[in-house]
Amino acid sequence: MKRIYLAVFAAIALAGTFGISPAKADDHDRDNQQRWDDRDDQRQQDAVVWRGSVDDVVDVFIRGNQVWSSVRSGDSLQDEHVRVNEALPPTWIKVRVDGVRGRGKAYVFQEPNRHNGFTAGIRIEDRDPGRSDYRVAIDW
């Protein structure tokens, strides 16, 4: 029993040394995660950052500075947010998915060209049951 009290006391003392009280540790972690997400969006300055909650398959289209989504299968898209840092130029250009956060995958299925009005298409596939949150960074 003395060992347990000693261990708890040592943990509290150690947390106090670093200026973190045990009651604030969760808030501290949540704040750090939010700051990391914000920095991550700004760090690389990807041309487009798309976020949303996906159930099965969603297509994301980009033309110029316009971005829109279409559900191919599954439930409706939720919590969609888009940040456009650079418009897709009206010329042939190689589009790439720079990074994906989510349990499935995302890939370019349509490159921009004059036949499709210089519209890029990115497919997000989440084949596991239920929905999952995604963050997809797109660049060219």
Residue carrying structure tokens 């997000």: 124
Count of H-run helices and E-run strands, the chain: 2, 8
Phi/psi for 59 (5° steps) reads -105, 135
Q: In 3D, which of 137, 132, 125 has the Cα closest to residue 37?
A: 137
More confident residue, 39 or 77: 77
Q: Are residues 18 and 73 in the same domain?
A: no
The reported pLDDT for the residue numbered 71 is 97
Same domain, yes or no: 25 and 90: no
Residue 134: pLDDT band by 50, 70, 90 thresholds? very high
Judged against a pLDDT cut of 70, whether residue 108 lies above it is answered with: yes
Count structural domains, the chain: 2
Mark whether 126 and 93 lie in a shared domain.
yes
Tell whether 15 and 54 lie within a shared domain. no
Same domain, 34 and 76: no
Q: In the prediction, which pLDDT does 45 show?
A: 85
81 and 28 fall within a common domain: no
Domain that holds residue 125: 46-139
Mean pLDDT throughout 105-110? 98
Please state, for a pLDDT cut of 90, what percent of the chain lies above it.
68
Taking only the tens place, the pLDDT of each residue in 29-60 is 344 344 445 545 455 589 999 999 999 999 99
Do 82 and 30 share a structural domain?
A: no
pLDDT of residue 63: 98
> Based on the domain organization, do 16 and 75 belong to the same domain?
no
Give the C-alpha separation, 57 to 71, whole Å: 6
| Residue 50 and residue 36 in one domain | no
Mean pLDDT, the chain, integer? 80
Does residue 51 sit in the same domain as residue 37?
no
Residue 29: per-residue pLDDT: 39
Domain identity same for 50 and 30:
no
User: Are 78 and 123 in the same domain?
Assistant: yes
**Mean of pLDDT values over 114-137:** 96
